[in-house]
Each structure stands twice: as structure tokens, then as C-alpha cells.
Amino acid sequence: MPEHVSRVMWRLYEPIHSVVYFHPNATASYSKVGLKGGWMSYFASRSAALGTPSAEVVEALFYHFAPAMVKRAIPDAWGLASPHEILRVRLEIAIDAIQNGIEGLVSKTELDLMASRLYDIAVSLPISGRALYAAHLTVDWGDSPAARLFGAATLLREHRGDTHNAALATHGIDGVQSHLLQIAAGVVTHDLIFPTRGWSVETWNDGFEKLLSTGILSTYSTSRQPILTDLGRDVKNQIEARTDSNSNPWFSLDGSRLADIRTGLAKISAGVRSYVGFPASNPIGV
């Protein structure tokens, strides 16, 4: 069965947004405005479009991270740097990655056209229930084509993320359990995801036991290597189908226009991946 177009496109625009997490100079750049460390920079830069949200708001919107991990960064970050400064630095990191990553691969004219097309699509999505997406609609991305392309990729991925979180919640799957489903589906490994999301062993094991008790995971599972049952595969497929169908601006595009955007994004995505040294194995799963 072919992969849903929404997921195909996500694989292409996600790296264009995520360069700000993997850029080798990212943490040093944020430290110049006062932030401390990579995780504070991550939580602050991704939530700064909301203003100065509380730790509880960030926990709710980020969904997959342990509350204690969020609280080590938020709200302290807002006393060290303003959201405006943080967003400015993030945009500078993105522009550097895009402009240098596409050099020799994509012309200025191509970049202008791609940024314009993708931005128009990104701002046209339904806003209801998508708080992180809505917050980024108010960000001033500037006039640079690289900046607008980053803005478009950011809006698209946050819309999809908000939609995915809603699908998880609808099925009663919490943050820990969502990771266990991803591991069971072969998207990531325990060794890759567990150290980066802040959950305690006790909370992780509790999430595992709950999925066992509901029949979503097989009794042959372990908390390091969960195995989906038929019910589990059905639940996982339903979550992904809801995400794909409810964050899908591509269905209204004709085949030729979609193919052009897909081709352009593939070149840009490959270029920025190479420039920042995007890790082949990463918690994002692309």
C-alpha cells in the first residue's frame, strides 16, 4: 500500500525545519543571547512563538516530553532571553543552513518560487485545536526566501504535530505510550528515544504495563522491545490515518503542481541535511 501523500511530504519538509535542532552551531548561537544548553534552547525556541508560556503549557503542547525535563528549561528561559531574541536566533540558524545547504543545487529563482508556494499552502490550514501552529502564524519571518521557506516548513510540521497529538489523545495514548508504539512499529529504537525524552524508568514501565493490559502490546513484549498485537497495529494505523487525513493540504493540488513541489523540496531537504550533518538515526524518525 503506497504511503499517504501527507506523510511523503512530511518527510521532505521536516528536515528543513529540523535543521535548527541539528545545526552544529545552534547551542552556541542561543548561548549568546543567554540560554543555557541544548535542551533549554530547544524548548524555548520551539515555544517562543507563544510568548512566555508556562511549563505546563509547553508540556501539554510538546506532549512527548517528561514534565520534569520541560521544567528544567521553562520558565527559566524567559528570564534569560526574550522570545523575540530567541526567534531571531532560530531564524538566523535556519537561514544559514538553507542558503549554504542549497548552494549549487537550487537557484535563487527556484528558491523564491518554492518559498512562495509552500508558504501559501502552510498558512491555509485549519487553525482549530492547533495552538502551536496558530502561534507560529503570528511570527514575522521576514522577506528572505530562505526565511519564508523555513517559516512554511515550521508551520506545516507544527500543524501536523498538533494534529498528531490530538489523534493520540483521542485513542488514550499518552506521551510515554506514544514512544512505545513508535518503537514497536520500527520507527525508532528504545536506545535512541528513551534517553532524549526525560521519562523515568518507573513511568516508562508503567506506560508499558498499561499497553499490555489493554491488549495493544503482545505479552511477548519487553519495555525495551515492545511488540504490537493485531489490536495494537489497528490502533497505530488509526492514529496515523487521522494525522494524515486531518493535516493534508496536498489533496487539493493537481498532480503536476504537487510533483513540482515534491521535486523542489527533495533537493532542498537533501542539501540542508548534508550541510548540517543531519543524523541518519534520530528521534524525529526522518
20 within a domain of the structure (yes/no): yes
- The answer to whether the bond into 75 is cis (omega within 30° of 0) is yes
280: DSSP letter: S
- The total number of structural domains that make up the chain: 1
Contact 47, 74 (CB under 8 A): yes
- Residue 38, pLDDT score: 96
Buried residues in 203-212 as b, exposed as e (16+ CB within 10 A):
bbeebbebbb
77 within a domain of the structure (yes/no): yes
14 within a domain of the structure (yes/no): yes
- Residue 78, pLDDT score: 98
- Residue 273, pLDDT score: 96
Domain interval for residue 57: 5-170+241-269
d(CA 125, CA 187): 27
165 within a domain of the structure (yes/no): yes
207 within a domain of the structure (yes/no): no
- Residue 61, pLDDT score: 97
Where the chain has pLDDT below 70, the residues are 1
213 within a domain of the structure (yes/no): no
113 within a domain of the structure (yes/no): yes
What DSSP element (H or E) covers 252? Answer: none
204 within a domain of the structure (yes/no): no
Map grid coordinates 511570527 to a residue.
139
Contact 257, 14 (CB under 8 A): no
